[in-house]
Structures are given as structure tokens and as C-alpha cells.
Amino acid sequence: MTDIHSEEDVATEAAGAKAGFNPMFGEWRQRFDFPPVPHRGTGGPARAAFQAAIRAAMTNQFVYWGEVQVVITLYLDVQSVLETSETADVDNYAKGILDAIKGPEGVLIDDTQVQALTVSWIDHHKTWFEVEIRASPDDFMIKPVRFFEMPDGLYYPQPAALWDKAGPKLATALDHFAGLTISEMMAARKKQLRHALRQKGVTRFKAAQMSAPMETQLRGFHRSRLFDAGYDLVGLAEWRAQRTAWAAANAEHAGFLDEMAKTHGALVKGLGAAR
């Protein structure tokens, strides 16, 4: 089925994409006007310089947090490809490029998000390359993002700014803690349900499948995928303490979080009974 977008939707997406705040209905593309460098057979300094050049050239101010499809197109001189040892196999170029476009300065959080990868080369008199990413239109956040530990042991991204039709706006404290509370409830319920299913003899794989309807769509990441990249990680106890202090000073908003928790609990109870 083809998505139908209004002229206003298209104009909003186009303005945000031009400014680098969002992908165009989930699609992002950038051309890099310098030669790609293969990962194997190249010295460490050369690889590091290549990846630094990619990051310096990137203009996106958002990051994808969900699964993506990546298309890398290399523009290479066919004579060099076929008759010399100056170039490498296409898959040898992918590693360095993927490493460069992930992390706080990149467009991906981690390369485990890459669900499909296509790498190809085209004959051209000038050597350069292009990267295209396709994803669900809403699976992005405006940078910078921080990662917050949840009861399931994973870390979930949270942006400092939100995107709407008027452009990016700073998230309020209520936006921040409401987002964290939703992720907290979903992660806790997921953990509880999986444990209960495993206690009943359900396999680990099947328990994960059965708990999926009660999980947040927002993807969580293992600490090992984030720490070395230099992301800002906030532990569960730390941000819960911050929320408690904020709620004590903002009782009217804290009541909204309580109502959210009650509503979610009733929903989960109903879904559990249905199973």
C-alpha cells in the first residue's frame, strides 16, 4: 500500500530534512566526495582518517534508533578495479563506512540496527561514494541523545529536543520524565512476563515472542554497544532519584505520571488475561 501524504506533510518533512533534523519520510542519503578506503589491507591511521572525514562531512542532526536498510554505492574506476590491486572487494569497504556512520557523531546508534546491507560499485572517472538509509519514518531522534537504563537491563535513548510541525523544540521536564516512565513500565512488564512464562516451561525464544505486544517499540541497547562509543549513559537508580525530586516539586505533573502508570497496568492485566 502506498502512503498518501498531504502537501503540508511533505512541506514539513522537506523543511526538516533540508535542515538535517529528520530523514525524508524515513530516507536519508549523503554523497561523500572523496575515495572510499577499504578496511582490510589499510593501515590504522589511514582508516581512522577516512572515518574522521566521513563524520566531518555528515550534516544530519538526527539519529535512527530502529532497524534500517543501508545501501552503499561506490563510484570507482573500472580499469583500476579489474586491472590493478588499487581497489578492494566491495564488502571490504562496508566495514569502515558503517563504523564511521554510527555513534554520537553519526546517523546510527550501533551497526546492530542494520537489518539489510547492499554494497555495489559503478564505473566512474572520479572516485567517491554515497550512503543511503531507509527506515520507518518515525524511528529517529534529534541529537544529542542520552541513554537511560531500564528494569530489563537495557539502555533506551531519550532526546533533548522533540520534532513537530514547527520544527525542533526542547523537551520539557514533563516530556522527559513521561518518556522515561513509559519505557520503564514497558520494560518492567516485559521482564515480569518473560520470567513468568519461563517459569511455566516456555522456551526463551517463545517467551520473547509472547511478550512482544507489551513491549515499547523504542529499541533498547546493551551497555556494551554504547559505552565504548562515548554515549552519555544514566543508570536506573540515578534517573529515578531525579524523577522523585522533580515530582516532589511538581505535584500537579507527577499526578499525570501516576495516571499513566495505572492505565498501563490495567492494559497489561487485560492482555495477560486474554492470553
Q: Render 87-98 in DSSP notation, one character per residue.
A: S--HHHHHHHHH
Angle, nearest 10°, between helix axes 236-249 and 251-274?
130
The answer to whether the beta carbons of residues 64 and 114 sit under 8 Å apart is: no
User: Pairing relation of β-strands 128-134 and 27-32?
Assistant: antiparallel
Q: What is the pLDDT of residue 72?
A: 96
**d(C-alpha 66, C-alpha 59), whole Å:** 20
- Note the pLDDT of residue 1: 41
The single-letter code of the amino acid at 252 is E
Q: Which of 7-21, 40-54, 72-86, 224-238 has the highest mean pLDDT?
A: 224-238
Domain 7-134 has CATH 3.30.930.10: no
- The single-letter code of the amino acid at 247 is A
- What is the arithmetic mean of pLDDT over 121-135? 92
Which H/E stretch holds residue 155? strand 155-159
Residue written as grid cell 522533580: 246
| Cα-only R_g, the chain | 22
Q: For residue range 184-236, list pLDDT tens digits in order.
A: 988 888 888 888 888 888 888 887 777 777 677 899 999 999 998 899 999 99
| Average pLDDT, integer, range 43-71 | 93
* Cβ atoms within 10 Å, residue 147: 21
Cell numbers that stand for 109 in this block:
546508534
Q: Domain-by-domain residue ranges, the chain?
A: 7-134, 144-274
Q: State how far Cα 137 lies from the chain centre.
A: 12
The model carries a pTM of 0.85
